[in-house]
A and B are shown apart, each in its own frame.
Chain A
Amino acid sequence: MPEPVLKWNLSRPPTIDDLRNLECFVCREEETRDPSASTSHDTTAVTRKWVHPCSCSLVAHESCLLHWIARAPQNVSSATPVPVNRSAASRCPQCRTKYVIESENPLILKVMEWTDGICNRLGRVVTVSSIVGLGVGAGSGLYALFTIYGEHAAQMFLGTEAYQLLLSTNYNKWPWHAYINVPLIPVLLLLSRSESMNTTLNSLYLIPLSLSANLGAPAMIAPGGVAGNLAQGIETGDLDWLFDWPPHPLWIATLLPVIRTLYFAGREQILNKILGTPEKTDFDAPGGAAPQVVLPPPGDIPAGVHPQVANANAAAVDARRRRRAGVVRRMLWDLEGFHARVDVVQADGARPRPDRAAQARARQAQAQVLAAAGGAVGGNVRVQAAGPVNVNGAANAAQENANPEGDADPNAEEEIHVHVVDVVDGHGIDHEDLQAGEAAADAEDINTIRVTGNSLGRLIGGALIMPTVARIAGALLYRIARRLPGGFLARFLGLHGRPYPPGFGIRSLDPVYWRNTVGLGLWLVATDCASLLHLYLRKRELQSRRIQSRSFAGMDLDSLDLVIPSS
């Protein structure tokens, strides 16, 4: 601008709206605002909101800055977009002014985040103690350790009486299969938590089933001295046990999978409704962005670096993906403001490329496109496409753009396949772009989910504590039922004595298993509700973030390229 610089002539300090040339310090895109000639360098950027959040001359698109704040590479240790106050990028990189960010952040969300933090810390403790425990166990007999836990779990869940009936506290009376089944209980519980659906209750019901001998033949009641039978007290051909209240464990074990399936279908619906998150888009996309567990060899893990569950490219699809998807699914709901990624792979990209060197070569022609990053906050873009798409035009344009000398990359001439790996909406799912800073060097690592020491501990601890939770919840229900007038709950829980005399097996005992089942069921529903609420609040917080713009008061106004209003 060769013209003489006009002085700012208004009494108020100039603001972001008074700047003529804006350049976003994140994406480096420019916008020119000239009242006389309303031209713009970049038509796509016209509608995006600009902010001047600090005390220096830096300005940025609000969406760019929010993206940076939510997932600065410094925050790699966190699995989710960090709360603003913990973001390393919450200050201006130049003048260190703290950004003022407003968002809907109710007290309950803060409490939940805090609780989450505590659980994470507990998880770490569990991880460490599990490792120590396993170490000790390996020496003194993992088997004994597992057996002891199995006994404990069974007693917790069934109550002492039923445990005595079905098994025995005397090892000598154990049937041979109890020596296999009991130590398997902790393993079972752990597996039940890592599947895509929480099958904890089902697994707990495998306890009485597995403890009892002669499951399928009610007539063959175990002779005295040997552990009792779950089906004891049921005559062959007699069906009245089906109408028992509380329901017989065998009956519950039969019905649970049905109930669970219905429950999870309902929960999925609610989840999708609340979060607006498309189901399975990201992992079931054609071309397979399959989640894959990549565990570095133990010796190679530097301190503080965790095993990673990586979302691999088509090349790395392997048989484990479906099972692993479960692990990922649970963590998937961690929110991100936006996430849209298109992988452009060379025509031969579909063939498996097991070695990294080859992958690196392939990447020569591969452009990873992060689309719609800015404007999509809160938007609901959902694109799904696959198969050969000719993006030569775009790729070439980009290449030429980059290379004014015309030194175009020969690879760009080739036919290119586009795998839309996942284009998830504004409520996005991916969560590990967060640590792109650390892991994204390899294409296969771009979408990485970490199993941290914390989350592993939470998984193990959460699984192993389930029988105890069931016991406590059951005991709580028992107390409530005793005090509740009307006795409805007491009848429901079967606290009024059983119609069967001793000798009818579990039918004649105080149905501890039943109130524990109900209690644990309620607990699981309650935790689901809580985590749903947590996700919803977090999503709302993330979407409602707005950065407060400051005026340029206190700055050398002559250094700014201002649009001076003609007075």
Chain B
Amino acid sequence: MGSISTRRLAKELRELSLECPTGIKILSANDFHTWRLSIEVMGDSLYQGQVFALQFIFDAQYPIASPEVTFVSDEHYKAPIHPHVYSNGHICASILGTEWSPILSVAAVCVTMQSMLASCKKLERPPDNDRYVRHAPKSPKNTRFVYDDDTV
């Protein structure tokens, strides 16, 4: 019993609870709809000592459809200051949009986010942050991002 999406998520969760990539911890994963994981950038980086939380929202089409991934921005966690992360937590990353593939997974997304933060050279918001945040849809999946930076 169970759909492809729940079976696959169950498996991913099993694997994550056995062994999480370094710097990544499950905060909550009580259903197959919303998961939260904390991520920390290991080694030398601009984000040393900071812990962020990633929120994953899955739909029934997962893994055909990409999960909705945002940085949590509430009283406990803040979205990292990064040229590809808006202050509302939305992330402009092609693997969450057009470059998504079912070969990716929750762990793979977390690791990619880690390396995106790790390679950051300058702490700044995206240039259009204020405008975007004012008009942003609830789900970043309804935004059409233009992926202009191949270095991430």
Contact = CB atoms under 8 A, between A and B. Distances in A.
Interface of A: 25-29, 58, 64, 67-68, 71-74, 88-89, 93-94, 300, 302-305, 341, 356, 363-371, 373-374, 394, 397-399, 401-405, 407-409, 411-412, 433, 436-443, 446
Contact of B31 (A94, A303, A409): A409
Contacts of A439: 141-142
B12 interface: yes
A29 B5 CA distance: 11
Contacts of A440: 59-61, 65, 141
Contact of A436 (B10, B59, B138, B142): B59
B2 A394 contact: yes
The 9 lowest CB-CB distance pairs between A and B, nearest first, are: A368-B60, A441-B139, A93-B101, A436-B61, A436-B65, A440-B59, A370-B3, A409-B30, A369-B3
Contacts of A300: 135
Interface string B1-38: 11111111111111001000000000001111110000
Given A300-B135, A305-B144, A89 B32 contact: no
Interface of B: 1-14, 17, 29-34, 57, 59-61, 63-66, 68, 97-98, 100-103, 105, 135, 137-139, 141-144
B59 A27 contact: no
A313 to B, nearest CB: 13
Given A356-B138, A394-B2, 4 more contacts: A27-B4, A94-B103, A437-B65, A446-B61
A58 B103 contact: yes
A27 B12 CA distance: 11
A303 B6 CA distance: 34
Contact of A93 (B5, B61, B103, B105): B103
A303 B145 CA distance: 11
Given A365-B31, A367-B33, A403-B30, A27 B61 contact: no
A441 B68 contact: yes
Given A88-B98, A438-B141, A398 B60 contact: no
Contact of A364 (B11, B13, B31, B142): B31
A64 B7 CA distance: 14
Contact of B5 (A71, A72, A370, A394): A370
Contacts of A397: 1
Contacts of A58: 103
B30 A68 contact: no
B33 A27 contact: no
Nearest to B15: A28
A34 to B, nearest CB: 21
Which of A93, A94, A366, A397 is the most central at the interface, judged by chain B CB atoms within 10 Å of its CB? A93
Contact of A29 (B7, B29, B57, B60): B7
Contacts of B61: 370, 433, 436-437, 440, 446
22 contacts: A25-B102, A28-B7, A28-B8, A28-B105, A71-B64, A73-B65, A302-B135, A303-B144, A304-B144, A363-B34, A364-B31, A367-B33, A368-B33, A368-B60, A370-B61, A373-B3, A399-B30, A401-B14, A438-B141, A440-B65, A441-B59, A441-B68
A279 B4 CA distance: 27
Contacts of B97: 73, 437
B29 A402 contact: yes
Contacts of B98: 73-74, 88
A507 B65 CA distance: 63
Contacts of B105: 28
Contacts of B31: 364-365, 367, 399, 402, 409, 411-412
Given A398-B32, A441-B141, A68 B102 contact: yes
Nearest to A60: B102
